[in-house]
């Protein structure tokens, strides 16, 4: 579903490579976590998955289609990216307008778009908030609204960038349940290693723009030495003592 071959990227005006010869394949229906310290290149990698950025060398293909300026519209119908800050995705006067924006711009007729938006808002418990301006919602509600804006377009690949940042425990649990019920290919970029443990079967560790580990998530996430060498710590579930009631 996702094929990345030898991509290298540096931002204009800088000398260091943010991504350095990155290659991997994600199979259809696979759930992959991408982890790494700040500055490892995770968000830059995310921005290559739907053509926000294009590699300086190498290639990115989605379902066999290489991403280039001529295929961006086609690729963006297949890949939905939920950005770290939901305010980057919510810009309309009402939540329902934000959720309608994508389907209408993909050419869906208005009746079908409204039906799809209503279904998605109800599934994510946002229907009662549909007339509200985005800025009046809580952080958790805005994050789920941003997710609704992407899921309503039925992407084949769902990419989430730091999806649990600022979520309270209740919304975090809801998000885990939701993601585990989805069938599309999922790529999750997160510092929340417990979240990766709960939602991803495979994990890749990115450091200094290179992939230094790629293995089953619960094998990678128990490797204390590897994690600590790269600015990360074991998931909390592996370090906290069990609760004993007295």
Q: How many other CB atoms are there within 10 angstroms of residue 109's CB atom? A: 10
Question: Looking at the chain, how many residues does it have?
Answer: 246
Question: If you ran DSSP here, which 8-state letter would residue 114 be given?
Answer: H
Note whether 200 and 44 are within 8 A (CB).
no
The widest CA-to-CA distance across the chain, in whole angstroms, is: 65
Identify the DSSP state of 44.
H
Q: How many Cβ atoms sit within 10 Å of the Cβ of residue 20?
A: 16
pLDDT classification of 245: cutoffs 50, 70, 90: low
DSSP secondary-structure letter at 239? Answer: T
Residues 75-88 pLDDT 10s: 988 999 999 888 88
* 110-150 tens-digit pLDDT: 999 999 999 999 999 999 999 999 999 998 899 999 999 99
What band does 242 get if pLDDT is binned at 50, 70 and 90?
low
pLDDT at 246 over 90: no
Q: Tell me which residue of 38, 6, 10 sits closest to 22, measured CA to CA.
A: 6
When pLDDT is cut at 50, 70 and 90, the band that residue 107 belongs to is confident
Percent of the chain with pLDDT over 70: 97
Query: 125: which residues sit within 8 A by CB, 6+ positions away?
Result: 144
Mean pLDDT of 30-57: 91
CA-to-CA distance for 194 and 119, rounded, in angstroms? 30
Which residue blocks in 95-240 are alpha helix, DSSP H?
95-105, 110-123, 139-151, 169-181, 193-199, 217-220, 224-229
Which range has the worst mean pLDDT, 86-95, 197-206, 221-230, 234-243? 234-243
Q: Is the pLDDT of residue 240 over 80?
A: no
Please give the backbone phi and psi of residue 20, each rounded to the nearest 5 degrees, phi first: -135, 95
The residues that bridge with 2 in the sheet, in sequence order, are 26, 62
Average pLDDT over residues 54-71: 92
- Helix, strand, coil percentages (3-state) for the chain, rounded to 5, are 35, 25, 40
Taking the C-alpha atoms of residue 201 and residue 195, their distance in angstroms, rounded to an integer, is 11
Is the pLDDT at 165 greater than 80, yes or no? yes
pLDDT (tens digit per residue) in 2-40: 999 999 998 887 777 899 999 999 999 999 999 998 888
Residue ranges covered by each domain of the chain: 1-78+158-171+185-235, 85-154
Distance CA(214)–CA(194), nearest Å, equals 17
Cα distances from 2 to residues 41, 84, 159, in angstroms, run 18, 21, 11
Is the pTM of the predicted complex or chain greater than 0.85? yes
Mean pLDDT of 55-59: 91
User: Which CATH number is associated with domain 1-78+158-171+185-235?
Assistant: 3.40.50.300
């Amino acid at each position: 579903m996702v094929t990345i071959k030898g991509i290298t990227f540096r931002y204009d005006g800088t000398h260091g490579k943010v991504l350095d010869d990155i290659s991997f394949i994600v199979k259809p229906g696979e759930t992959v976590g991408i982890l790494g310290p700040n500055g490892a290149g995770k968000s830059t990698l995310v921005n290559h998955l739907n053509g926000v950025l294009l590699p300086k060398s190498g290639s990115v293909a989605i379902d066999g289609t290489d991403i280039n300026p001529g295929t961006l519209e086609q690729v963006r119908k297949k890949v939905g990216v939920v950005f770290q800050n939901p305010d980057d995705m919510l810009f309309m006067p009402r939540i329902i307008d934000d959720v309608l924006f994508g389907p209408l711009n993909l050419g869906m007729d208005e009746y079908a778009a409204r039906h799809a938006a209503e279904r998605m808002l109800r599934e994510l418990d946002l229907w009662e908030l549909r007339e509200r301006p985005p800025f009046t919602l809580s952080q958790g509600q805005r994050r789920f609204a941003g997710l609704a804006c992407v899921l309503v377009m039925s992407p084949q690949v769902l990419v989430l960038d730091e999806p649990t940042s600022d979520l309270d425990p209740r919304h975090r649990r809801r998000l885990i349940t939701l993601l585990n019920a989805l069938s599309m290919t999922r790529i999750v970029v997160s510092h929340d290693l417990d979240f990766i443990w709960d939602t991803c079967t495979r994990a890749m560790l990115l450091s200094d723009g290179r992939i230094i580990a790629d293995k089953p998530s619960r094998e990678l996430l128990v490797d204390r030495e590897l994690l600590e060498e790269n600015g990360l710590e074991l998931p909390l579930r592996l370090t906290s003592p069990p609760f004993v009631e007295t």
